[in-house]
Amino acid sequence: METLITYCFHVPGTLVANLTPLFAVPFDCTLLHVSAVASNNNDATLKVGTPANPAAYLAEFPIGDSQTPAVKASFKDFVGGQYPRLNAGNSLLITLDYDGNNGTAAQNVSVALTLAKG
């Protein structure tokens, strides 16, 4: 049985700046799932990658509106048509553009990533 780890965060209120959470994965893993949503109709976008290439794993996409998450969970959703493989110590960067291209700012944003250990 594989061990699944969920990394999630929630930002309450109306966003006024981009968010760029960055962390090093503690073990070899595979990114299987990304979902993101705001409570309002918004223009925010999200991408996942590395500091050197912020869209290395998942190209920029609009997050979900009005409590309906946008979900990326098929291998076809990820760059190269395969689930991204990370080695222990690799950096993982999440880039949330709070208003897309100067559109409506996101409110009450939730983001979740699922990683499979091993």
pLDDT digits (tens, 9 = 90+) for 72-110: 999 999 999 999 999 999 999 999 999 999 999 999 999
- Whether residue 115 contacts residue 42, with contact meaning beta carbons closer than 8 Å, is answered with no
CATH code assigned at 85: 2.60.120
- Comparing CA positions, the residue from 62, 54, 55, 46 lying closest to residue 79 is 55
116 is written with which tokens? 């499979």
The Cα–Cα gap between 23 and 1 comes to 26
Domain range for residue 13? 4-117
Q: How many structural domains are present in the chain?
A: 1
Q: By three-state DSSP, how is residue 104 classified?
A: coil
Question: What mean pLDDT is predicted for residues 51-56?
Answer: 98
pLDDT at 47: 98
User: For residue 81, which phi and psi values (nearest 5 degrees)?
Assistant: 70, 30
Between CA 54 and CA 114, with CA 2 as vertex, the angle to 5 degrees is: 30
